[in-house]
Amino acid sequence: MSITDSISKAWSDLLAFMSTLVIPDWSALIGLLPLFVLIGVIGPILTLIILGWLGYAVMKPRVKVSYVEGTKVAPRDHLGRPIVPAGEPYCPKDGLIYATGTTRCDLDKATLLVRCPKCEVVREAGIQACGNCGLVLKIEPRTLILASDRPPPGGAAIA
């Protein structure tokens, strides 16, 4: 075998290998068509659905405020006096903060006081308007809405 024959054989082998890449076996590729559809179409659609679901799970609205109802003990300063928030009724004797709309202390039935949020003047909780600045402090308690997560009894024909 001469150099020319070996170069010619290497060139023929290279062309044979390239022909398998350039001219594919169509019957084998048609047999793989369901796999290509699965990878190229259904895969991205499922990926987008899962990413959307996870994105909603991360970004969904959540309850940001928790309401604490009822009587609570007011914190005290270094002299032992209760520190009360503005606009909420409180009992200066017992150091208790009551829910909005309460006018009498539960323990000794004394009149509750309210500190005006605008001018810091203390007045009785039963008086709605501040005598100093005129601010009307009329905060009504939240309405309790009772709702069921089930349909009404008797089915949809009753509703």
DSSP secondary structure letters along 39-60: IIIIHHHHHHHHHHHHHHHHHS
- Note whether 78 and 140 are same-domain residues: yes
Contact criterion met (CB below 8 Å) for 88 and 114 = yes
Q: Give the per-residue pLDDT at 144.
A: 59
Domain that holds residue 9: 3-59
Contact criterion met (CB below 8 Å) for 107 and 91 = yes
Token pair of 53, please? 């679901």
Residue 155 lies in a domain: no
Q: Give the per-residue pLDDT at 46.
A: 96
Residue 39 lies in a domain: yes
- Note whether 47 and 16 are same-domain residues: yes
Residues 89 and 112: their CA atoms lie apart, in Å, by 6
Contact criterion met (CB below 8 Å) for 61 and 67 = no
Q: Give the per-residue pLDDT at 112.
A: 92
Residue 150 lies in a domain: no
- Note whether 83 and 138 are same-domain residues: yes
Residue 98, Cβ neighbours under 10 Å: how many? 20
**How many structural domains are present in the chain?**
2
- Note whether 49 and 101 are same-domain residues: no
Residues 81 and 97: their CA atoms lie apart, in Å, by 13
Residue 149 lies in a domain: no
- Note whether 40 and 20 are same-domain residues: yes
- Note whether 52 and 102 are same-domain residues: no
List phi, psi (to 5°) of 82. -70, 140
- Local confidence pLDDT in tens for the 159 residues of the chain: 788 999 999 999 999 988 877 887 788 888 999 999 999 999 999 999 999 999 999 998 877 766 667 788 989 889 888 888 888 899 988 889 998 888 898 888 899 999 988 898 999 988 888 888 888 877 665 565 666 666 667 666 555
- Note whether 37 and 82 are same-domain residues: no
- Note whether 79 and 19 are same-domain residues: no
| 63 class by beta-carbon count within 10 Å (0-12 exposed, 13-18 middle, 19+ buried) | exposed
Q: Give the per-residue pLDDT at 49.
A: 97
- Note whether 51 and 84 are same-domain residues: no
- Note whether 75 and 113 are same-domain residues: yes
Token pair of 143, please? 């309405």
Q: Give the per-residue pLDDT at 81.
A: 84
Q: Give the per-residue pLDDT at 6.
A: 92
